[in-house]
Structure 1
Amino acid sequence: MSQSSKYIYGIIEEPQPRKFGFFGIGEVEVYAINHQKLAAVVSDTELQEVDPTRKNVLAHTVVEDKLLKEYDLLPMGFGIVANSEDEVRSLLVKNYDSLIRELKRLAGKIEVELKVFWDQEAITQQLQDGNREFARLKAKISSASSPLEAQNLLVEAGKLVERLAMSWKTKYAEGAYNHLKKLSFDARMSNPIGVKNILNASFLIDKSKESEFQKEIYKLDSEYQGKVNFKYVGPLAPYNFIKLKLEPVK
Structure 2
Amino acid sequence: MALYVYAITGKDHPHRLDGLTGVGSHPTPVRTVTAGPLSAVVSEISEEIRPKRRDLQTHQEVLDKLMSDAVILPLQFGYFASDDQTVRQALEGNVDRYLATLARLDGCAEYHVRASQTDEDELLREILRDSPEARELNERIRAGEEDPQLPLALGEIVAREVQERQDSLAAGLVQALIPYAREHTTHPPSSPDFLNLSLLVAHDRTDDFLAAQASLARQIEGGVDFRLTGPLPPYSFVD
TM-score (norm 1): 0.79
The AA in structure 2 aligned to 1:88 is: V
Deviates more, 1:65-74 or 1:26-35: 26-35
Q: 1:155 to 1:78 in 2, by over 3 A?
A: farther
Tell me which residue corresponds to 2:158.
Answer: 161
Whether contact under 8 Å (2:16, 2:66) holds in the other structure is no
1:239 matched to 2:235: yes
Tell me which residue corresponds to 1:219.
Answer: 215
The AA in structure 2 aligned to 1:114 is: V
Tell me which residue corresponds to 1:107.
Answer: 106
Note the alpha carbon deviations across 1:80-105, whole angstroms, 9 max, x for none: 11111232233333333332222112
Find the aligned partners of 2:152 and 2:230 in 1 and give their Cα distance: 38
Gaps of 5+ in 1: 244-250
Tell me which residue corresponds to 1:247.
Answer: none
TM-score (norm 2): 0.82
Q: 1:238 to 1:143 in 2, by over 3 A?
A: same
Find the aligned partners of 1:225 and 1:145 in 2 and give their Cα distance: 34
Find the aligned partners of 1:154 and 1:60 in 2 and give their Cα distance: 50
In the TM superposition, 1:76-87 aligns within 5 A as 76-87=75-86
Tell me which residue corresponds to 1:122.
Answer: 122
Whether contact under 8 Å (2:180, 2:205) holds in the other structure is no
The AA in structure 1 aligned to 2:23 is: I
Deviates more, 1:10-19 or 1:136-145: 136-145
Tell me which residue corresponds to 2:3.
Answer: 6
Find the aligned partners of 2:82 and 2:201 in 1 and give their Cα distance: 35
Cα deviation for residue 25 of structure 1 reads 1.3
Whether contact under 8 Å (1:114, 1:230) holds in the other structure is yes
Structure 1 vs Structure 2 CA RMSD: 2.8
Q: 1:161 to 1:207 in 2, by over 3 A?
A: farther
Deviates more, 1:225-234 or 1:99-108: 225-234
- The structure 1 residue matched to 2:23, chosen from 17, 20, 25, is 25
Note the alpha carbon deviations across 1:176-210, whole angstroms, 9 max, x for none: 1122122211111221212x422222111103422
In the TM superposition, 1:89-238 aligns within 5 A as 89-119=88-118, 120-139=120-139, 149=148, 154-194=151-191, 196-238=192-234
The AA in structure 2 aligned to 1:224 is: I
Find the aligned partners of 1:20 and 1:41 in 2 and give their Cα distance: 13
Find the aligned partners of 1:179 and 1:62 in 2 and give their Cα distance: 32
Cα deviation for residue 74 of structure 1 reads 0.4
